[in-house]
Structures are given as structure tokens and as C-alpha cells.
Chains A and B, each alone.
Chain A
Amino acid sequence: MHNESDQCFHCSLPVPAEVRVTAEVDGDQRHFCCHGCKAVCETIYAAGLEGFYRRTAEGTQLAPPPEPPKDLALYDIDEVQAEFVDSLGEQRDIHLLVEGIHCAACIWLIEHSLYAMPGVVEARANLTARRLHLKWDNSVIKLSAILQRLGEIGYAALPYDPETAEGSLNRSNRQLLYRMAFAGFAMMNLLWISIALYSGADRGEFRTMFHWVGFALATPTLLYSGWPFFKGAWSGLRHFYFGMDLPIAIGASITYLYSLYVTLTGDPAGEVYYDTVVNFLFVILVGRYLEAISKRQAVASTQRLLDLQPRVATVMRNAEEHIVPIRTVKIDDEVLIRPGERIPVDGVVIQGNSSVDEAMLSGESKPLGKRAGDRLSAGTINIQGVLHVRVESLLKDTALGRIIRLVEEAQASKAPIQCIADRIVPWFVAATLGVATATFFLWLQTDFDKALMAATAVLIITCPCAFGLATPMAIAVASGQGARHGILVRNGEVLERFSAIDHIVFDKTGTLTKGTMSVTAIHMLKSEWRTGEEMPEGIKQLLSRVAAVERYSEHPLALAIQKAAASLRLELEQGSFINRPGLGVGGVVSGQQIYAGTETWMMRNGVESAPFLQDIAAQFDRQGASSLRIAVDGREVALIAVEDPLREDAQALITRLKNDGIRVTLLSGDRQKTAEAIAQRLGGGMDVIAEVLPEEKDQVIAQLQSVGELVAMVGDGVNDAPALVRADVGIALGSGTDVSIASADIVLMSNELEKVALASALSRRTLRTIRQNIGISIAYNIIMVPLAVAALVTPLVAAISMPISSLLVIGNAARIRTLFRNY
């Protein structure tokens, strides 16, 4: 596969051919995939913690370090810290959410490098939850210094409040664990009492005592462990909806009441089923708990740092700067925004000049110029200059706040889908009750006691043990396995819904493409270069000169060229410049007159055109790439193609989905021609909906749905969020914005687009397993119900046959993991 030099020394990802980041580490020359990895590796060695690499398990792939959070200094402000720490004394105690923890070695590295800092009292990292519990002495060290240190060794960490973040979810999971544990305890004790009864004690002097012991164990179990089912059944009844909880509650309480009746009357022919009640509750609670854990896992892993950034703003009061929490900012305050900062409020610029990246809101990757009088939106990023802004609206009233509210409303109004089990259960309940009543009247002609026993046996034996586990087990296995492979599923119904999808809509920018403009090809008369190849010397020289001329231009094409030159570490020479926005730039570099820009710009400067470039330019145009003409000393010599490149796995994915018979649509705000060119390059055969305004995206989805199609949407931006919620299944990329992740049903953590196909396969497999499981439980009932009607079911038969049906269902669900063997 890869030899050493092709892999990043730090994270073992393959090193792209055009990137050459090398450094001398411990006497050896090492290659890195990016500067982030190099910096982290050098810091680790400088701190003498290189044992980290030895502790990393063989074959573990680290990821390049996440971008460290900005403006750490603001976490030292007491007002900001007050939200996260218990007391503002000398020694403080905080919980951090850490991005970038992969394995046990990371925990070692974090703890060791923090303990080496004076003032750190305790640092304890949690591998499963990717959290860090930190105690430090505020008089010795500042929190920002600790966060800074974590950033240097490759972890992005920010404080969070465990109560608000996951408190309620954790508490309810813990409740479920308690209930399950209690049922488990009662089950184990009842089991040996049952064994005594089966082996003959039901005839002897201890019979009554064993019955009462069973009663003593089963009663608290039914009341405490069974509580959630009674609650669910009751609320279902009030809304005339027969859910899964109803048959569970009926089965458990009828079985219990019958046993109680036998215990009280001491009827020598009667049998007690206390062990069945408790077994049944325990098994169902295990299923519920597994389901809850997988749900919590999805919530925890989608929680992102940006979410937690405390909202602060720099407010100008009496010509002095104050950093204050955003809650205390008022309308008409003057807020100062430095370059690189996220804009905290909606407002009007009153002073200053800058360009602002609004990609988050509009999906437009090109920064917009802003000067006095222009409007700014919260959530967008100030790129260059300092801006003074008069606040117009805050928090919920900002444009970003409105989108978030739109998303929340849409989520609330989304009808819950009815899963297969839910559709079957009401019929199942009705049938069970019907058969039990029929059995009762059938036997009533012979004997009342026998009639009661047979009717109860029907209810017990059909008690939906296997039914109750059929769906949760399959979903727990599927979402657990999915999470291990980078597919986070918000809840189980999504898998069922996804398997029925017949149309997938992809957002173009940032989803099918990488979302950043970059140089993908350079053509000269004698040589040419395409992305992924080693760049010839001649082209490198030309690129460095063009980059020198483009240095002061803000145009996206210019930025792409500067980035290409920077990644090759080309030296830029000095020279003179002219810039005509919309046309191009020109300048003199090392004595050569260079022009870069459009065809018009070339003609205007009297450049002699090169015919061979015409065809290539036309070809780029067909591909949907922008091209930039380059002239040196009055003659056109080269053509540079700049585009938002497709993700490597996009084409394979589209082909696969089409083969699976799924309709694929490309949704884009671009010109129709560009979008069609992209679709063509992805292999064609897909619908293209272009020139869509960001706020119209969810309307497009609604239109497709109105034809009766089940639509999934894949996207990453804030502007995709309403569409993600509107779609039957919303899929967000892990690198996407927080709002889009919060609105999605499925999140692909690794950004591998291919995982869309895997998720689709997983959902179909899960649905198949659910159907098989329901099949198994129906088959079980078909065999057992006639026995019960014939009054042939003894407690022993029930005790043996019911666990077997549950085990079959569990075993069948576990087979879902075989799906991942091929990946």
C-alpha cells in the first residue's frame, strides 16, 4: 500500500503529491500531510512526550488536528467563566469538551502534558465521551494558557456545562439503568425459586412460602422497573394510540394478577408466573437501554465546539473597549469587530472597511466588501479590517437566529413516521385479546379455573417479548455499528425511512465539491499540470510570478492562486502592480511584464493571443471551471483553471446510487450551465436544479415531495438546514456548520461522501432484519398460541420458550454487523 514517506508521520494519512511538508524530527527527515500535523508533532517531541507515538496502537489512524478555537483570552474573563465553573475562587473546576481524541494514547498525551504545567491540579480525560475534567489554580495559571497548550498538541478544547449539554439525557439513561439493574436482580433470585418449584417444591410444604417470596420480588419489580411501560401505555390510551408499551403493560400485569390470584387462593391446580413477569420486563428493559445508549452516543458525538463558544462581544462605552457577554449587549450599542472574528450581532457598519465571509448564511464562498452603511449578519466572519457596528438586533432576532428557529419549528412539525412494529402492534394487541377471550369462553363450558388459566396462558405466551426486542435490538446494533464506521444516526426511525428513499438531492457547494476555490490545472505551450501531479519547474516559476502579481487582489481566483503558491512554498518576488476589478491584474516581476485576467483584459493590453489556448479555454468552460489567461511580455503563454474541485469519491457514489435505482438530483445556486457541467463530470444521468436562492432550497424539496417521492437531502451549510429538516431524511457532513448538523437525521463524521451509500445499505439491511425479527416472533406465536389455547402451557414451557424467542431475535440482529465486512 503506502510506504513510509507517502504517509503523514503524525496522523498516517496519505500525503498528497503536491504538498511537501517536511521537518527534521529526532534526527530523521519526516513527511507530513499538513502544517498542522507538523506543528503538533514538533511540540510533542519538544515536550519530551514522543512516547505518544509508541503508545498509539498499531494501525490506529489519527486525524489531522482540528483547528484550535480562537480568542482564548476571553475565557479568562470571570463573567464568561462563571457559566462553567462552580466557584470563582483560587482553585477552579471545569469540564472541557475536547475535539481530536482518538485513542487511549491521546488520553496519556493530554494528561501528561497538562500535569507538566505548574498550576494544573487535576486533569482527567474521558475517552468514550471525549471530555476532560480539569482543576487548576487560577492564581498560578490562566485557563487560556491551558487551552492554548491543548491546541499546540493537537486538541481543540472548550469549556461546556455538563448540566445543560446533556444533563437530562444522562439522567433519564441512568434511571433506565437502575430499573434494568433492579429487574436483573429480581430475575436472578426468582430463577432459583422457579427451579425449586419446577423440581417438585410446588407439591411440598414450602409451596406457599415460595409463592409469597415470588410475590415479594415481583411486586416491586413490576411497579419500579415496569413503570415506564405503564406510563407509556396510559399516555398512548389517552391519545387513542396503541403503542408497543400497551401489550407489554397488559402482558405483564395480567400475568402478575393471575399469579397473585393463585397465591391468594392457594389453588392447588394453579401455577404462578412471577418469573415470567420479571424475565420479560428485564429483557425488554435491556432492549430499551441499548436503544437509549445509541441515541446518547449520537448526541454526544455531534456536539461541537462552535456550539459552545460563549457569545461575547467587544462593546465601545465611553471610547473604551469592554468585552461583555452577548446577553448584556443592547440595541444601538456600538460593537467593535476585529479581523477574523465571528460577527456577534446583526447591525449596520458605522465605521471601517472590510470584507465579510457570508458563506455560512448564503453558501456564497466569495467574500463581500463592507463599508459604512452596509448591513452585517450575525454568524458571518469578518476577514480583514476593523469594523464598528451599531447593533440592530440580537440573538433570536438575528438572521441566524431566525434560521435556527425555522429549523426548530420544522423539526417540531415533522410528523413522526409509523414504524413497522407500530403498525403491527395494534392488530397484535387486538388479536391477542380476542384469542384470550375466545379461549376463556371455550373452556368456560368445562371449568372456570381451567378457563381462567388457559386465557392467561394465551396472554402470557403471546406477550410481545420478541416483538418488543425486534425493532430496538436491530436499531441498537445498526446505530452502534454505524457510529463505529462514522455514520451517526439520530434515531431509529430514520433508518427505516431511509431504506424507502427513492430520490437523493445533493447540495453542490461543499458537499459534492470541496467548497473552496483552488487551482486545478495549468496549461502552457509545452507543458501542462493537473491537480495531483508533480508540478514541472517551468510552471512553478510562472505560478510564483502570477501569484506575486495577484498578491494584493481580493478576487476569489486570486486567492486560489495565492493559496496554490503558498502550499508549494514558492518565494514571491516583489514588483509593481495594477488592479482592474472584474478584468484582471498586471505588474512587473523580475523585469517581466505580466498580465493575468479575462480575454478582454488581454485585448485591452494589446496582448498577442495564443490560438492553442482557445480550445483549452472552451474545454474548461464546458467543465464548469473558471479560467484565467496569463500573458508574459505581451504574449499569451498560459491558462490557469480555477474551480471548486469535486470530492474524490463523489463520482463513485453517484454511480452507485444510480445503479441502486435511486434518482439523484444536484441542487445548486450556481448558473444552470455550470451546474450541468458538474453533473456531466459526475457521469451525467442526474437531474440538475440550478439558480436556486438559498432560502428556496427547502421549497425545492417540498415540491419533490408533493409528487409523492421520498426525498433525502445531503448538505453542509446553514442555508441547507431548512432543506435538511424538510427532507424525509437529512444527511449532514461532519465538517458542516453546527446548524446543519443539528438539523440532520444522519451525520457523516469523516466527510467521506461514500458513506451515503453505506448508510443507505445499512438502512436497508436494518429494515430487512426488523422484518425477519417480526417474522420470527410471529412464527413463535403461531406455534405457541394453539398450545396455550389447548391449555397445555405450563410455567416451565413458558419459562423455556420465551427466552428462546428473545435469543433468536437478538442473535439475528447481531448479524447486521456482517454488512461492514465488505467495507
Chain B
Amino acid sequence: MEVIYGLIPFMIILGLGAVGLLFWAARNGQFDDMEGEAHRILMDEDLAPEIKEQPEKEEEKKAS
């Protein structure tokens, strides 16, 4: 059970590291926009329906 004398300080240091990380993230503006970033990753160039429809419409215009 003597291992606990080493484990406890180790755990506390680990926890303090996590707290430090959180402080760094907050200072760095990581929590400034909680909504936008989540959406941004989903909005890329490759929007399937748009690419499909675009040539069709151009063909229509040429036909008419």
C-alpha cells in the first residue's frame, strides 16, 4: 500500500496539469465561439447537391 505515497502527488500534479491546460485554452480564446467552430468543420467546399445541380442548370440554360 506504500505505493499510495507516490500515487497521490502524481495524481495531483496530473490534475494541476489539466487545470493549467484549461487556463491556457481559455486565455487563448478556445472557448470564445462555442457554436461557430462546430459548424465550420461541416461546411466545406464539397457540397454534394450543389455540384450535381450546377451542370444541369447550365445545360437547361443552353437548351433554352
Contact = CB atoms under 8 A, between A and B. Distances in A.
A104 B38 CA distance: 9
Nearest to A48: B54
A211 B15 CA distance: 19
A181 B22 contact: yes
A206 B4 contact: yes
A617 interface: no
A213 B9 CA distance: 9
A105 B26 contact: no
Nearest to B32: A126
B52 to A, nearest CB: 11
A189 B47 contact: no
A612 interface: no
Interface in B9-52: 11-12, 15-16, 18-19, 22-23, 26-27, 32-36, 39-40, 42-43, 47, 49-50
Given A27-B57, A55-B43, A181 B23 contact: yes
B36 A107 contact: yes
Nearest to B50: A51
A217 B9 CA distance: 11
Given A54-B49, A104-B43, A108-B43, A128 B12 contact: no
A71 interface: no
Interface in A100-148: 104-105, 107-108, 125-129
Contacts of A108: 40, 43
Contact of A181 (B8, B19, B57): B19
Contacts of A128: 32-36
B4 to A, nearest CB: 7
Contact of A126 (B11, B33, B57, B60): B33
A107 B39 contact: yes
Contacts of B11: 189
Nearest to B61: A27
Contacts of A177: 26
A818 B4 CA distance: 49
Chain B interface SS verdict (over half)? helix
Contacts of A58: none
Contact of A26 (B36, B40, B43, B57): B57
A22 B19 CA distance: 57
A206 B2 CA distance: 10
Interface string A201-233: 000001001000100110000000000000000
B19 A185 contact: yes
A371 B1 CA distance: 94
Nearest to A53: B50
Contacts of B8: 209, 213
Nearest to B42: A104
Contacts of A188: 15
Contacts of B4: 206, 209
Contacts of B32: 126, 128-129
A405 interface: no
A182 B43 CA distance: 36
A178 interface: yes
Please classify how large the interface on chain A is, using the bins under 10, 10 to 19, 20 to 34, 35 or more.
Answer: 20 to 34
Interface in A28-56: 50-51, 54-55
A26 B58 CA distance: 10
B26 A126 contact: no
B36 A185 contact: no
Contacts of A178: 23, 26
Nearest to B12: A189
A174 interface: yes
B43 A185 contact: no
A802 B15 CA distance: 25
Contacts of B22: 181
A213 B5 CA distance: 10
Contact of B36 (A50, A125, A181, A217): A125
Nearest to A186: B15
Contacts of B43: 55, 104-105, 107-108
Contacts of B60: 27
Contacts of A129: 32-33
B16 to A, nearest CB: 7
Contacts of B16: 185
B33 A127 contact: yes
B50 to A, nearest CB: 5
Interface-centre pick from A188, A189, A216 (highest chain B CB count, 10 A): A189
A235 to B, nearest CB: 27
Given A27-B57, A104-B36, A128-B32, A54 B1 contact: no
B48 to A, nearest CB: 10
A127 B19 contact: no
Contact of B1 (A55, A127, A206, A216): A206
Interface-centre pick from B34, B35, B36 (highest chain A CB count, 10 A): B36
Nearest to A177: B26
A107 B40 contact: yes
A206 B5 CA distance: 10
Contacts of A50: 50
A217 B18 CA distance: 15
A104 B35 contact: yes
Contacts of A104: 35-36, 39-40, 42-43
Contacts of A127: 33, 35-36, 39
A177 B30 CA distance: 13
Nearest to A52: B43
B58 to A, nearest CB: 10
B50 A54 contact: yes
Interface-centre pick from A50, A107, A174 (highest chain B CB count, 10 A): A107
A185 B18 contact: yes
Contacts of A125: 36
A105 B35 CA distance: 12
Nearest to B18: A185
Contacts of A213: 8, 12
Contacts of A105: 43
A51 B42 CA distance: 13
Interface string A270-284: 000000000000000
A394 to B, nearest CB: 37
Nearest to A220: B16
Interface string A7-38: 00000000000000000001100000000000
A27 B23 CA distance: 53
B39 A217 contact: no
A105 B33 CA distance: 15
Nearest to B48: A54
A182 B8 CA distance: 17
Contacts of B35: 104, 127-128
Contacts of A185: 15-16, 18-19
B59 to A, nearest CB: 12
29 contacts: A26-B57, A27-B61, A54-B49, A54-B50, A55-B43, A55-B47, A104-B36, A104-B42, A107-B39, A107-B43, A108-B43, A126-B32, A126-B36, A127-B33, A128-B33, A128-B34, A177-B26, A178-B26, A182-B19, A185-B15, A185-B16, A185-B19, A189-B11, A189-B12, A189-B15, A206-B1, A206-B4, A209-B8, A217-B12
The 3 closest A-B pairs by CB, nearest first: A104-B39, A127-B36, A126-B33
Interface of A: 26-27, 50-51, 54-55, 104-105, 107-108, 125-129, 174, 177-178, 181-182, 185, 188-189, 206, 209, 213, 216-217
Given A188-B15, A189-B15, 16 more contacts: A26-B57, A54-B50, A104-B36, A105-B43, A107-B39, A107-B40, A127-B36, A128-B32, A128-B34, A174-B26, A178-B26, A181-B19, A181-B22, A185-B15, A185-B16, A213-B8
Interface of B: 1, 4-5, 8, 11-12, 15-16, 18-19, 22-23, 26-27, 32-36, 39-40, 42-43, 47, 49-50, 57, 60-61
